[in-house]
Chains A and B, each alone.
Chain A
Amino acid sequence: MRAYPLTYKKLTPVSTTASKRKRSGFISRAALPYVLSLPALLVCIGILIPFFTAVFYSLQRYRLSQPWAREMNWGENYLNFLTDPGFWATLEVSLLYAVLTVGLELLLGLAIALLLQRRSRVNNFVSIMLLMPLMTAPALAALMFKLMTNQGFGILSYLLALVGVDDFRWGSSPDTALFTVVLVDIWVYTPFIMILLLAGLRSLPTQPFEAAALDGVPRIQQFFRITLPMLTPYILTAALFRLLESIQQFDIIYAMTQGGPGDTLTVFQVEAYLNFFQSTNVGRSAALLMILWAITFFISNIFIKNWLRLRERARGEA
Chain B
Amino acid sequence: MQHVSLIERLLRGVALILVVVFFMFPIVWIVLMSFQTNETILRVPPSFIFEPTISNYKALITGKLETSAASLEINFLRNLGNSVLLSVGSVALALLLGVPAAYAFARHKFKGSEDIAFTLLSFRFAPPLLVLLPLSLYFQKIGLADTYIGLIWVYQLICLPLILWIVRGYFEDISPDIENAYRIAGHSWFSTFRKIALPLAGPGIAAAGLLAFIFAWNNFIFALVLASADKQPVTVGALAFVTASGIQYGQIAAAIVLSIAPTLALALYAQRYLVEGLSLGAVKG
Contact = CB atoms under 8 A, between A and B. Distances in A.
B127 A292 contact: yes
B281 A311 contact: yes
B249 A147 contact: yes
A196 B282 contact: yes
A219 B125 contact: no
B45 A158 contact: yes
A122 B119 CA distance: 42
Nearest to B221: A250
A14 B218 contact: no
Contacts of A200: 282-283
A72 interface: no
Interface string A87-119: 000000000000000000000000110010000
B41 interface: yes
Interface in A37-75: 37, 39-41, 43-44, 46-47, 49-51, 53-54, 57
Interface residues on chain A, size class: 35 or more
Contacts of A299: 125
Given A135-B264, A143-B242, A51 B126 contact: yes
Given A132-B264, A195-B275, A282 B104 contact: no
A29 B49 CA distance: 69
Nearest to A277: B225
Contacts of A196: 278-280, 282-283
A192 B242 CA distance: 28
Contacts of A34: 104, 110
Given A24-B188, A195-B279, A269-B129, A39 B259 contact: no
A304 B23 CA distance: 30
Given A43-B153, A140-B234, 16 more contacts: A7-B185, A41-B101, A51-B131, A131-B271, A132-B24, A134-B278, A137-B235, A144-B30, A147-B30, A269-B127, A269-B128, A289-B133, A296-B125, A297-B126, A314-B284, A315-B173
11 contacts: A30-B110, A32-B104, A39-B100, A112-B19, A132-B27, A137-B218, A139-B236, A144-B26, A153-B41, A195-B278, A289-B130
Which 6 pairs between the two chains have the least Cβ-Cβ distance?
A: A24-B189, A137-B218, A36-B104, A199-B283, A33-B108, A50-B134
